[in-house]
Chain A
Amino acid sequence: EDQVTQSPEALRLQEGESSSLNCSYTVSGLRGLFWYRQDPGKGPEFLFTLYSAGEEKEKERLKATLTKKESFLHITAPKPEDSATYLCAVQTGGYNKLIFGAGTRLAVHP
């Protein structure tokens, strides 16, 4: 069964304290791994798509990496405005649908 697991469930950081969020997956044929940011009461906002092991993408303070078993979202010198829930999702096999992990709730304090 296809499965996506995110850790930690919640993370509290001080402003400027870098860290990483983990997304491990077990799927039958990865077609793409997606990272989204979700603010309370809003829909997910697209961050990155990764397609193959070894791929990396960056956007401002965020960097996403992918291996054959997991993906990491690295946050460098976070700011309070980075506080949100970060969701990981995978697209598998011949399907167009996404399977989501439970998310990591990030809180960055000044």
Chain B
Amino acid sequence: GAVVSQHPSWVICKSGTSVKIECRSLDFQATTMFWYRQFPKKSLMLMATSNEGSKATYEQGVEKDKFLINHASLTLSTLTVTSAHPEDSSFYICSARDIGSNYGYTFGSGTRLTVV
């Protein structure tokens, strides 16, 4: 089945530094990937849609300069949290859709970001 690998699974960084999270589709090509943020005991909030070879589409209220998205190939999208602050601490999840499968949208295992 469709597999999406997300790395790292957790990261701790200091305020003011930047952190990059990778999302890879392992056995299919994904022209579109999605980045979500999830707060404790809350549902997934879509941050942006990542399009291969073009600019990402950000949801209303999401700072595009803080959350940089790059989708340079059909199997890799990255989310960089720039100048991180404690309020950026959260669980970040990516997803992709294998059009040719019955699995719908496949999600990565998530990245727990803690900014200290």
Chain B residues within an 8 Å CB radius of A105 = 41
Contact across chains for B93 and A44 when beta carbons are under 8 A apart = yes
B57 to chain A, nearest CB (A): 9
Compute how far the CA of A21 lies from the CA of B76 in the bound complex, rounded to whole angstroms: 35
- Of the listed residues A34, A42, A45, A101, the one surrounded by the most CB atoms of chain B closer than 10 A to its CB is A42
Chain B residues within an 8 Å CB radius of A80 = none
Size of the B side of the interface (Cβ < 8 Å), in residues, is 25
Contact across chains for A87 and B97 when beta carbons are under 8 A apart = no
The one of A34, A43, A46, A99 that contacts B109, using a Cβ cutoff of 8 Å: A43
| Total cross-chain contacts (CB, 8 A) | 52
Chain B residues within an 8 Å CB radius of A34 = 104-105
For the residues of A in contact with B, the DSSP-based class is: strand
Stretch at the interface among B12-20, B42-50, B67-75, B77-85: B42-50
Chain B residues within an 8 Å CB radius of A49 = 102, 104
Contact across chains for A100 and B93 when beta carbons are under 8 A apart = no
Compute how far the CA of A9 lies from the CA of B93 in the bound complex, rounded to whole angstroms: 22
Contact across chains for A46 and B43 when beta carbons are under 8 A apart = no
Interface residues of A (CB under 8 A from B): 32, 34, 36, 41-46, 49, 87, 89, 96-103, 105
